[in-house]
Amino acid sequence: MEIFTSWSSWAQAEGPVSKALPPGTTESLRDAVAFARAQHGVQQRPTGRPYVEHLLEALEVAVVGAELADRDVLVAIVLHDVLEDTPCTEAEIARRFGAGVAELVRWVTRPRGVAKVDYLSSLVQAPLHAVFVKLADRVSNVQELQRMPWRFQRRYYLETVAYIMPLAGAHPWFARWFGEWRTRWHPRVERLSAY
């Protein structure tokens, strides 16, 4: 199972991105990373690391792992949490990055007041490109799940198996990655459930 943690800054991502993608897409991603960094500010991941690292991991998953090249999908991956976690609006995303990116980010944003289970269940209706955004996000979140408290590990594993893995069939690379991940994690979750 591949782990995607090589890009903790745009400086580390830019070289591989520019080799894999057209110059215009690389420029859009540079702008998106700067925008996301400004929007998320001092927010941190639960591990205490800067939040932008999660966004770059998800981008690395998409570019290096799944070999996605669609500009809107990749920019949406970088921006996927700005509506949910910052004051940024969908209109602002549309102005800066286009209506297509804004729509993808909206699809992967849990609306305020909607239960997480209901939001995750609704993703089966999402357009394919929005599904790719969510899958890249979740690979980043679960690839090192062992760093989280064990109760969170169990809940997040079960949530991923129930709601995210069914979406992975939309792309062979994601299907394979999540299959390997589940094989690796299932025995661990069984042990955690015994406590």
pLDDT of residue 57: 97
How many domains, the chain?
1
Q: Which of the four pLDDT bands, split at 50, 70 and 90, describes residue 150?
A: confident
One-letter amino acid at 103 equals E
- Residue 99 CA to residue 57 CA, distance in Å, equals 24
Residue 44 backbone phi and psi in degrees, to 5: -125, 160
On whether residue 43 sits in a domain, the answer given is yes
pLDDT of residue 194: 54
**Residue 124 near residue 166, CB atoms below 8 Å:** yes
On whether residue 19 sits in a domain, the answer given is yes
Catalytic residue among 67, 84, 180, 190: 84
On whether residue 145 sits in a domain, the answer given is yes
Domain containing 112: what range?
10-193
- Residue 54 CA to residue 62 CA, distance in Å, equals 13
Residue 185: count other Cβ atoms within 10 Å of its Cβ: 21
Q: Respond yes or no: is residue 27 known to be catalytic.
A: no
Catalytic residue among 67, 85, 144, 190: 85
Mean pLDDT in the chain?
93
pLDDT of residue 192: 57
Give per-residue pLDDT as tens, 40-95: 998 888 778 889 999 999 999 999 999 999 999 999 999 999 999 999 999 999 99
pTM score, whole prediction: 0.93
Q: Which of the four pLDDT bands, split at 50, 70 and 90, describes residue 190?
A: low
The span from the first CA to the last CA of the chain, in angstroms, equals 27
On whether residue 3 sits in a domain, the answer given is no
- Residue 86 CA to residue 98 CA, distance in Å, equals 19
- Residue 136 CA to residue 148 CA, distance in Å, equals 19
Q: Which residue has the higher pLDDT, 165 or 194?
A: 165
On whether residue 1 sits in a domain, the answer given is no
On whether residue 2 sits in a domain, the answer given is no
Q: Respond yes or no: is residue 70 known to be catalytic.
A: no
CATH number at residue 143: 1.10.3210.10
* pLDDT at residue 171 tops 60: yes
